[in-house]
Amino acid sequence: MDTRSELQATVDAMVHGAKGLLAADESGPTIAKRFDRIGVASNEESRRAWRNLLLSTPGLAEFISGVILYEETLGQRADDGTPLPELAARQGIVPGIKVDKGKLALAHAPGDEITEGLDGLAKRLAGYRQQGARFAKWRAVYNVSDRLPGRLAIRANAEALARYAAICQEAGIVPIVEPEVLMDGAHTMARCAEVTEAVLHEVFDALQQHAVVFEHMLLKPSMVLPGKDAGQAAPAEVAAQTLKVLRRTVPAAVPGIFFLSGGQTPAEATANLDAMNRLGPLPWRLSFSYGRALQEPPLLAWRGEPANAALAQRALLQRSRLNAMACLGQYEAAMENAAA
């Protein structure tokens, strides 16, 4: 199979039906914070046990088409000795890998950040492919205030995202492009929309300049939301403002938009996705690529106890099912029927 055919096959497997992605690519410090909440020490074995629990959930592939893994997880094995990427693939879930190396302060741009990890990326991708990864993810972050992000940060992160995506496609790996406009702060929804539109315009301009094939990539954006300290917006408003920005900026050739949850509660992230899918028809498939919004309920059920594994897996399956319903615009109606 040639590279383009391989990329198309991966995209087709990921953008399939009412399914989304499970983001299980938390860095060491991030997963340590989540484990702290349930009183579990973060070490290689506890992280392996948790991710084994997630990937071995019976029936998960009915609602999840792909999983984003952390580099450590690619080399870990399930309880029966199966490599964890293979465990996912056996379920019909496409394994992927986070490839960026995190963020750092952007020089000469106070308050702005840039993502690093381009050095040696092509060589790393070759190794990840051998371990079973078929897609990758790179996250850029944008802090928001009256003056942030600056023009330099918008341009520099777009360039990095585009270079990453081009390298991935050349290696036969589908790139997920993740520009996250952060919720932190007291900015208005209008300011978030303004920043998101500017960011996405710059990202797709850079992607085009680097000859990235839009049909063979996926977008993982944040929703248009007010800052955490500015109150909460209704799902209908989030949907209208987010789709307004996406229609202005994202080419119809992009097959799928998989939203990040970005600090929303599990219920908020699902309700907002549902509201967007009730405003169709749209040129792209709108789905989810949630980390905390999928993992928080099963994590609270598990609490590091092997005896709680089945309970935790049921919680993961339930949240995945609800988000699959949101992909069809059927979540709100189902919740109303359940409450009646």
SS3 176: strand
Helix (H) or strand (E) run with residue 258 in it: strand 256-259
Check 178, 180, 202, 268 and give the catalytic one. 178
Check 159, 220, 268, 296 and give the catalytic one. 220
Rounded Cα gap, residues 335 and 322, in angstroms: 9
For the chain, the residue count is: 340
φ and ψ at 286, to 5 degrees? Answer: -100, 125
Closest C-alpha to 14, from 69, 83, 86, 64 = 64
The C-alpha angle 48, 52, 53, rounded to 5 degrees, equals 120
Torsion of CA 197, 201, 204, 209, to 10 degrees: -160
Q: Is 220 a catalytic residue?
A: yes
Q: Is 237 a catalytic residue?
A: no
Q: Classify residue 275 by its DSSP letter.
A: H
Looking at the annotation, which residues are catalytic? 178, 220
